[in-house]
Chains A and B, each alone.
Chain A
Amino acid sequence: MTATESSPASTRPGEPMLSVDDIALYYGNIAAVKGLSMRVHKGEIVTLIGSNGAGKSTTLRAISGLIKPRAGSISFNGERLTGKQGHEIVKAGICQSPEGRRIFPRMTVSENLDLGAFLRNDKEGIAADRARVLELFPRLADRISQKAGTMSGGEQQMLAVARALMGSPQLLLLDEPSMGLAPVLVDLIFDTIETIRDQGTTVLVVEQNALAALRIADYAYVLESGSLKLEGPAAPMAEDDEIVRAYLGG
């Protein structure tokens, strides 16, 4: 068993792409995350799992610059992100597919994808990425001129991921991509996340559906009540009955 309760922040070799160091996040005076450190290396799928209210989404929001950490720092490719505005972080190469999808319901699928590429000016690169995401999610190609709000939940989730990919991120943040989806769709989305990683985009995925996330992830962090409880390679974690029972509701 490689996962230990108090392992150092990173047991993996090399420089991390994203490094979160001892951050504390608050909503008003209520601490949502305390002393969390985590690393994401290039080419990995890293998952941050835990129960409802553990502070997972809050952490992602902090990485995207929507919440300022009260303590600690976040850096990306050696550059400090803490204190930067949301659009500067997107420009640095981090795009997020937010919790609850939050697609633009009154815009077409095509317009949603265009907005994903809002900060880019390279027309050819945008066209190439558009072709890429439509290949990843052929269903979106069928619905390209449909209003996004009229699509099913699964299609909206696909659009949310595709839209984030249109920013051509080095690091893709996915917040609960399985939320509210039928099991067959969950499998489809997670298979696609693997494909995205294989195509060269690093992925950090936050999930309540821990077993599904551990199945595809390379490395996992388990969060409980805002604190890191466990970290380690994902595959052994999924097989450890004790861990699954204790933390993952298995």
Chain B
Amino acid sequence: MALSTPEAVETAPAKSDIAASHTRRWALWFAAIAVFVWVFYTFALPNLGSSGQTIVREWMPLGSVNEALVWVICAVGLNIVVGYAGLLDLGFVAFWAIGGYTAGWFMSNFFNQISNGFYFLSAAPPNQPGIHLNVWLVLGLAGLICAGAGIIIGAPTLRLKSDYLALVTLGFGEIIPQVFLNGADIRGFNLTNGALGISPLDNVSPLPFGPSTIAIGDASIAISKPLGPFDTTAKYVMFVLVAAFAVFVSLRIREGRLGRAWLAIREDELAASMMGVPLMRSKLAAYAVGAFMGGLGGVVYAVHNNSVFPDRFNFAISIILLAMVVLGGMGNVWGVIVGALVLAWFNSTGLPQFGDSFNQQFGTDINFPSYNYLFFGSILVLMMLFRREGLFPETRTRQVLQEAERSDAEELDGGEV
């Protein structure tokens, strides 16, 4: 026990290198799986034979993969607020909604007051009314608007202790969708189109920058095909890129000073303050970064559905996102990704399919999808009872929960010092 280990001291600084290579390895896995899925759906699936195709279309259509990616993006964002900084947020759906409506405003014919249309690198057909920006630009814009909203909601409320903060965010998550629902007539101005929502959205350009056609004189040359609403494969590529961005940012930020500040606040706010961590600024940053990703998720969700409707943004979304973060393992980005993929697939495809099979098998008539919240609730309860650290916990959580604490009595037994 009293043995001095200078090696340990010397190897400690190399730790960040290990973490970096760990991150690289995971990044490779992420890319490999993403490419594999793309190859599978593009090339392998058409050659699979009709029964194989039916199974895939029923149990794992690419649309459900895309939707799961939307959840991944938002869950990774919520993980920054809840997992990294330890601030409970029950209203994350608000950012999702703001992101969605940003896409609706800037990527559709909705603002028909602009009768000739305002175009910027858009893949939309020309001479339509409304604002038509490039989807990648809209992603950035939605992220910034949401980050601003996060700061506005955070500034007065982040001084509250955790329970009260949770209540305030809950209220925020309820208010924002109501604003969109009732925003059809703001002193005569139609901001949100009310319950009818905004539909359809512009086609998106698969290229990160630039339109899909270049006009030379009178001729327009197509350099890439704009994506229609049913072009799921190309949307998949786009969603994977956005998800990769969210994952990359949340991994990098975690290693930096801000990440350490969040971790310290999560572990012990008072002690963090005594170490010189600026509490308000760090918490606001967590809100802003998380909200930014919520905004990305909102745009991607709008693109996925080719529309935005206010009733899609309900309280349950906040809870499902929270369940994903808890199931995967708070703070661990990879765990959260798995949690989001599994729960999103289960909710959109797995449970209805299982229900159909079950009903056919046993001749019953049970509406399984209507019990989905029973399953989510049970998952949360069971996780809290048996595996509080999540399926794939952060190493730091796992180690402390598994290593028994040494007592002072033990120490006296050893008679050291």
Asked whether, in the complex, the Cβ of A180 is within 8 Å of the Cβ of B274, the reply is no
Asked whether, in the complex, the Cβ of B276 is within 8 Å of the Cβ of A106, the reply is no
Asked whether, in the complex, the Cβ of B260 is within 8 Å of the Cβ of A115, the reply is yes
Given known contacts A87-B278, A98-B274, A110-B12, A152 and B406 CB-to-CB distance under 8 angstroms: yes
Q: Which residue of B8, B271, B275 is within 8 Å of A142 (Cβ)? A: B8
Q: Which residue of B261, B278, B417 is within 8 Å of A85 (Cβ)? A: B278
Indicate whether A64 reaches chain B with its CB closer than 8 angstroms. Answer: yes
Contacts of B275 in A (CB 8 A): 90, 95, 115-116, 118-119, 163, 167
Asked whether, in the complex, the Cβ of A154 is within 8 Å of the Cβ of B408, the reply is yes
Min CB distance B159 to A, Å, is: 12
Indicate whether A248 reaches chain B with its CB closer than 8 angstroms. Answer: no
Asked whether, in the complex, the Cβ of A144 is within 8 Å of the Cβ of B9, the reply is yes
Min CB distance A104 to B, Å, is: 4
User: How far, in whole Å, are A96 and B267 apart by their CA atoms in the complex?
Assistant: 17
Indicate whether B58 reaches chain A with its CB closer than 8 angstroms. Answer: no
User: How far, in whole Å, are A114 and B403 apart by their CA atoms in the complex?
Assistant: 23
Which stretch of A133-141, A210-218, A219-227, A236-244 is in the interface? A133-141
Which stretch of A37-45, A73-81, A182-190 is in the interface? A182-190
Asked whether, in the complex, the Cβ of B5 is within 8 Å of the Cβ of A142, the reply is yes
Indicate whether B410 reaches chain A with its CB closer than 8 angstroms. Answer: yes
Asked whether, in the complex, the Cβ of A152 is within 8 Å of the Cβ of B274, the reply is no
User: How far, in whole Å, are A145 and B4 apart by their CA atoms in the complex?
Assistant: 13
Within 8 A of B (CB), among A85-103: 85-87, 90-91, 95-96, 98, 102-103
Interface size on A, residues (CB 8 A): 47
User: How far, in whole Å, are A142 and B417 apart by their CA atoms in the complex?
Assistant: 12
User: How far, in whole Å, are A105 and B264 apart by their CA atoms in the complex?
Assistant: 10
User: How far, in whole Å, are A105 and B400 apart by their CA atoms in the complex?
Assistant: 8
Indicate whether B28 reaches chain A with its CB closer than 8 angstroms. Answer: no
Asked whether, in the complex, the Cβ of A106 is within 8 Å of the Cβ of B403, the reply is no
User: How far, in whole Å, are A66 and B404 apart by their CA atoms in the complex?
Assistant: 33
Contacts of A116 in B (CB 8 A): 275
Asked whether, in the complex, the Cβ of B267 is within 8 Å of the Cβ of A110, the reply is no
Question: Mask for B255-268, Cβ within 8 A of A = 1, else 0?
Answer: 00100110110011
Contacts of B4 in A (CB 8 A): 138, 141-142
Interface-central residue, A142, A167, A188, by most chain B CB under 10 Å:
A142
Contacts of B372 in A (CB 8 A): none
User: How far, in whole Å, are A85 and B407 apart by their CA atoms in the complex?
Assistant: 36
Contacts of B270 in A (CB 8 A): 66, 98, 102
User: How far, in whole Å, are A174 and B355 apart by their CA atoms in the complex?
Assistant: 62
Asked whether, in the complex, the Cβ of B274 is within 8 Å of the Cβ of A118, the reply is no
Within 8 A of A (CB), among B1-44: 1-6, 8-9, 11-12, 15
Q: Which residue of A66, A98, A154 is within 8 Å of B411 (Cβ)? A: A154
Asked whether, in the complex, the Cβ of A90 is within 8 Å of the Cβ of B274, the reply is yes
Contacts of A91 in B (CB 8 A): 276
Indicate whether B374 reaches chain A with its CB closer than 8 angstroms. Answer: no
Asked whether, in the complex, the Cβ of B260 is within 8 Å of the Cβ of A150, the reply is no
User: How far, in whole Å, are A184 and B4 apart by their CA atoms in the complex?
Assistant: 21
Asked whether, in the complex, the Cβ of A86 is within 8 Å of the Cβ of B408, the reply is no
Min CB distance B111 to A, Å, is: 44
Asked whether, in the complex, the Cβ of B2 is within 8 Å of the Cβ of A142, the reply is yes
Contacts of B3 in A (CB 8 A): 142
Contacts of A149 in B (CB 8 A): 400, 405
Indicate whether A153 reaches chain B with its CB closer than 8 angstroms. Answer: yes
User: How far, in whole Å, are A139 and B9 apart by their CA atoms in the complex?
Assistant: 12
Asked whether, in the complex, the Cβ of A167 is within 8 Å of the Cβ of B276, the reply is yes
Asked whether, in the complex, the Cβ of A147 is within 8 Å of the Cβ of B274, the reply is no
Indicate whether B273 reaches chain A with its CB closer than 8 angstroms. Answer: yes
Asked whether, in the complex, the Cβ of B408 is within 8 Å of the Cβ of A118, the reply is no
Indicate whether A3 reaches chain B with its CB closer than 8 angstroms. Answer: no
User: How far, in whole Å, are A95 and B5 apart by their CA atoms in the complex?
Assistant: 29
Indicate whether A181 reaches chain B with its CB closer than 8 angstroms. Answer: yes
Asked whether, in the complex, the Cβ of A118 is within 8 Å of the Cβ of B261, the reply is yes
Q: Which residue of B257, B260, B396, B417 is within 8 Å of A139 (Cβ)? A: B417
Contacts of B396 in A (CB 8 A): 106-107, 147
User: How far, in whole Å, are A115 and B272 apart by their CA atoms in the complex?
Assistant: 8
User: How far, in whole Å, are A40 and B9 apart by their CA atoms in the complex?
Assistant: 35
Min CB distance A50 to B, Å, is: 22
Min CB distance B411 to A, Å, is: 4
User: How far, in whole Å, are A95 and B278 apart by their CA atoms in the complex?
Assistant: 14
Q: Can you show 8 pairs from A to B with CB atoms below 8 A apart?
A: A86-B278, A87-B273, A98-B270, A116-B275, A119-B275, A145-B8, A149-B400, A180-B408
Residues on B facing A (Cβ under 8 Å): 1-6, 8-9, 11-12, 15, 257, 260-261, 263-264, 267-268, 270-280, 396-397, 399-400, 403-408, 410-412, 417
